[in-house]
Amino acid sequence: MPFLEELLYRGIVYQRLKAFLGVKAAVVLSAVIFGAMHFNLVQFLYATAVGLLLAVIMEQEGLGAAMAAHMVTNLVSVLRSETKLFHFMDASMTGSVICTVVESVLIVVLLVLAFHGGKEK
């Protein structure tokens, strides 16, 4: 499924939005559309955050890299739900909140670096 989702959301939707709205708007709007298509609030939030990252990866590295990143994201999700590999994240509500905040901060930092890190003023 990641292969097809990336073909649709980054290969078609993102590219069309980019042509009409520019990179930054396309990154955000394609991520929101990607999140909305997961059809529930919790997945909307996570999928939108992942969609932001995947769109930046698409812009910086291309469709193949976005597909690979999507596959890794899904693999971590399956490993978390089907094994005890990431059980420490679910040990307590505090742990879950801390992990979610850390993940969110990392996403924001990656986005900032992607859009501003390589540009000299």
Write down the pLDDT at residue 105: 63
Write down the pLDDT at residue 27: 96
The pLDDT of 12-36, averaged and rounded, is: 97
Write down the pLDDT at residue 121: 42
Write down the pLDDT at residue 15: 97
Write down the pLDDT at residue 84: 75
Interatomic CA distance for residues 47 and 83, integer angstroms: 21
Tokens of 106: 């990392």
Model confidence, pTM: 0.76
Top pLDDT among 36 and 120 is at 36
Interatomic CA distance for residues 9 and 33, integer angstroms: 8
- Give the residue carrying structure tokens 């910086």: 60
